[in-house]
């Protein structure tokens, strides 16, 4: 989940928005520094595979209708990285994926502050998700519980900051904005959690047949969301056109 390249993060009149962006960036920097001190071995093949697939699929992104935000289909691979890789590797997969996702397509301009916020949010979410998963695993409860905890932590940590920054830059209510994001993206998070659970059930580490299969599933999901959001957008535009036409006719009749 990230803000769009044409959103008003850097142009907002709100004085709180830059403070919130700076705070998020400081948190992410602290997490990355801490991650550097926890490097104790790399899952070279699995890490590089997830890094590549997450970066490629992050370009398959969909704008959330009515909001200056989008989501890409790289989420399952970030969740898999959280559950199968070390903390530095999971942070690297999340940061690179969201960086690539945040690079705007023309004619929108590249906004460094906005990319910084998106990547910082992703790093914080990946850290919290990784910690929740591994701390849950240490409790030795039902094997599905740690995965649910990790995915839930990532969900809240990635959607709430986006809702807050949108509310600050567009003078919207934060909770209502967050509820809109949840309404539009929750099925996607559930599907991604399901794919991550399948990967965990298969056992072992990420391999190319599994990653390719999941990429195909997420591509179909991406196409479905595009069709659905396209219909939602067309319906909203039609309703707006009808309302404007009715208003114009009423004004002409009154005159």
DSSP secondary structure of 128-185: HHHHHHHHHHHTT--THHHHHHHHHHHHHHHHHHHHHHHHHHHT--HHHHHHHHHHHH
| Residue labelled with tokens 């309302």 | 243
- Of the CA atoms within 13 Å of residue 151, those in its CB half-sphere come to 22
CA dist 187 and 59 (Å) reads: 20
Question: What does the block give as tokens for 105?
Answer: 């397509």
Q: What is the pLDDT of residue 246?
A: 47
CA dist 186 and 164 (Å) reads: 18
The structural domains of the chain, with segments of one domain joined by +, span 2-249
- Most distant CA pair in the chain: distance in Å? 78
**Other CB atoms within 10 Å distance of the CB of residue 48:** 14
Question: What does the block give as tokens for 137?
Answer: 């695993």
pLDDT digits 0-9 by tens, 198-210: 888 876 667 888 8
Q: What is the pLDDT of residue 103?
A: 87
**Helices (H), ranges, the chain:** 16-36, 44-57, 75-84, 87-102, 112-138, 144-170, 174-202, 208-254
**Other CB atoms within 10 Å distance of the CB of residue 193:** 21
CA dist 107 and 97 (Å) reads: 21
Strand 69-72 and strand 2-3: pairing?
Answer: antiparallel
Q: What is the pLDDT of residue 15?
A: 81
Check if the beta carbon of residue 122 is closer than 8 Å to that of residue 102. no
Q: What is the pLDDT of residue 56?
A: 93
Residues of the chain with pLDDT under 50: 5-12, 240, 243, 246
Check if the beta carbon of residue 4 is closer than 8 Å to that of residue 69. yes
Q: What is the pLDDT of residue 238?
A: 52
Q: What is the pLDDT of residue 25?
A: 96
Check if the beta carbon of residue 132 is closer than 8 Å to that of residue 138. no
Q: What is the pLDDT of residue 116?
A: 94
Q: What is the pLDDT of residue 165?
A: 92
């Amino acid at each position: 989940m990230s803000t769009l390249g044409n959103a008003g993060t850097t142009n907002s009149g709100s004085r709180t928005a830059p403070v919130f962006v700076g705070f998020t960036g400081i948190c992410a920097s602290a997490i990355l520094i801490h991650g550097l001190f926890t490097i104790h071995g790399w899952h070279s093949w699995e890490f590089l595979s997830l890094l590549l697939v997450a970066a490629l699929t992050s370009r398959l992104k969909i704008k959330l209708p009515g909001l200056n935000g989008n989501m890409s289909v790289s989420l399952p691979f970030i969740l898999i990285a959280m559950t199968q890789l070390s903390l530095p590797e999971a942070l690297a997969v999340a940061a690179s994926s969201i960086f690539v996702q945040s690079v705007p397509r023309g004619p929108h301009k590249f906004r460094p502050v906005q990319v910084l916020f998106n990547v910082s949010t992703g790093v914080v979410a990946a850290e919290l998700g990784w910690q929740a998963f591994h701390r849950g695993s240490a409790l030795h409860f039902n094997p599905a519980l740690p995965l649910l905890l990790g995915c839930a932590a990532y969900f809240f940590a990635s959607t709430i900051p986006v809702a807050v920054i949108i509310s600050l830059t567009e003078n919207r209510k934060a909770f209502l904005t967050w509820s809109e994001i949840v309404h539009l993206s929750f099925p996607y998070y559930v599907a991604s959690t399901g794919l991550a659970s399948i990967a965990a059930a298969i056992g072992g580490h990420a391999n190319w047949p599994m990653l390719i299969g999941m990429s195909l599933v997420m591509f179909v999901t991406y196409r479905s969301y595009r069709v659905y959001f396209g219909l939602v957008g067309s319906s909203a535009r039609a309703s707006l056109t009808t309302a404007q036409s009715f208003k114009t006719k009423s004004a002409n009749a009154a005159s």
